[in-house]
Each structure stands twice: as structure tokens, then as C-alpha cells.
Amino acid sequence: MTARRTQRARDPEARKAALAAAAMEVVAENGVGRTTHRAVAARAGLPLGATTYYYPTLDDLIAAGLRHALDALQTELQTWDERLRTAPDMPEALTQLVQEYLADRRQVRIEYELFVAAARDQALRPLAEAWLNDMPETLVTSVGTAKARDICALLDGFILQALVSDTELDAERLTSAIRKLSS
């Protein structure tokens, strides 16, 4: 009698999540323009057919990566919200949170790369807009809607400067600017 090979049951949701995470990694390394189904499948350790089965177009695959990044960001923003609500000094606490966020430059590059992709692709815009709206909501109770949006625009500028120049965040300057905008 020959032994039959046991085939592992396939978990479609786990495969989709692995592909979305792999898409983010490939985007971080290669950029959106050089991301392919083949590269994502290889990174996820799945056959190319699985990639195109779950995400028939490259836009679908990039959108899945953006949704994955948005989910992670929303979880992180819940933590930010809790810390900011109890912080004795909101500008200092917010600067600290930005420093912690920038500690994982790879993840920040992924998120910003996918964000830029949404600027080029109409189908991705609703996801990016959700991203744009979630961060200010974290600050609204502290400073109001208009100031929260201004502070978020400031944060994006500081984050991009640190990311592009590969330098440390100018924490003193950021804290000072947040104080000016929040008063």
C-alpha cells in the first residue's frame, strides 16, 4: 500500500492576508510601479496562480496592500488616541508618538508609497481618504477639527522630511510647531 500525501487545507483568508502583507513589503522595496503579481507571490511563498486568483489585477493587489496598511494604522491610531487623552502635554506626547512611528522606516515607506499610489489611482482614493480622516479624528477632542487637520498636515511634512532626508525627526521643532497650531 502506498502512502498518500496529506495535503494541507487551504485557508483562503490567510492566503489573502499573506498576499496583502507581501504586497506591502514588495512595494516598500521596489515601489508601486515595479510591484508585480509574480514578486508578491514569491514573497508570500504562494503560487502565482493564487495571487491572480484572489487579486486579478495589480490595482486589486495594491488596494489590498493599502487596506492592510490602513487596518494597521487604525489599530495604531487607537493607541495614539489613548495616549494623547491621558497625556499631560499633548504636543510633547504627539511628537513622541511620531518618533516611535518613524522608528520603523520600512513600514512608513510602505504606507506613504501606497498613499501616493492612491493619488494616481481613482479606485484607491476612498481608502486613502479614510486614512486622511482617521488621524485628525484622534486630535479633534484636544484641539478641534480645523486645528487637528492643520496639525496632521504638519506631521506629514515632518515625517516626509525625515523619511526623504533619512534623518532623525527634529522633535524640538515639531513640538514647538504643534504648540503654535494647537493654541
Closest CA to 179 of 145, 134, 142: 142
Let me know: does 125 contact 63? Beta carbons within 8 Å.
Answer: no
Q: Which residue has the cell 516626509?
A: 160
The third-level CATH classification (topology) of the domain covering 12-182 is Tetracycline Repressor; domain 2 (1.10.357)
Does pLDDT of 5 surpass 80? no
pLDDT tens readout for residues 73-106:
788 889 999 999 999 999 999 999 999 999 999 8
Report the first-to-last Cα separation within the chain, whole angstroms. Answer: 80
Query: Residue 62's pLDDT is what?
Result: 85
pLDDT tens readout for residues 17-64:
999 999 988 887 887 788 899 999 999 999 999 999 999 999 899 888
Query: Residue 74's pLDDT is what?
Result: 82
Q: Rounded to two decimals, what is the model's pTM?
A: 0.77
Closest CA to 22 of 9, 7, 54: 54
Query: Residue 143's pLDDT is what?
Result: 94
Does pLDDT of 7 surpass 80? no
Going from N- to C-terminal start, the domains of the chain cover 12-182
pLDDT tens readout for residues 155-177:
999 999 999 999 999 999 999 99
Query: Residue 171's pLDDT is what?
Result: 97
- Mean pLDDT in residue range 133-143: 88
Q: Which residue has the cell 508570500?
A: 44
- Copy the grid coordinates of residue 138: 484622534
